[in-house]
Structure 1
């Protein structure tokens, strides 16, 4: 009986610890030197963001953001494709919407990847 109590407590603590782990969406280990902003599904470069403070803040927000599935949602694609780069190497790609997207049930944000919307509404400093 004592072993069952100990095992139950261990299981409960394990579940709590798993739930408290940090979310890491991007898992970027390299430094991002700049973000290139392209029209969605185009090779037209719209802008390049080199502000390191902005890049670090945005990367941190995206890395720790809640995400929501968009797999069953019919919506227009993002306005821009962002390439997070270290010099010439593409480290990460994500979509960006000029307008905040609101799909209900907590899915609100501007950044989209494949089938999920990131709960981040930070505007890009586009010229």
Structure 2
């Protein structure tokens, strides 16, 4: 799978089975999964199809005030939980077909995926405590054998 480094923006090829091994960027050496991955529709489709780790996607738009206010909260959660859960963002303004495909009706919308299946979604900007609770629930649900 190809993952764009959230630190230096370089593209890295990572085998799906290595996602749980805390892969690092080949260019800057920073961990690939301790930041928010900015994706387009194709990259999101590839990630959801290939990832063995759960994926939390923030569907947002640059003109959305709540989306911009929520971004630092989402980034902080990615730094804290990035090795167990992939955090990704998709700009629905730039990727309108993806917004339609995933039936995004309001932004921000957080959608949780695991092994290609959507597990649930939440609309609206979450405060840090609620995002932490959501992440905890996702990890508890997806870590079961």
Q: Report the TM-score when normalising by structure 2.
A: 0.25
Q: Report the TM-score when normalising by structure 1.
A: 0.27
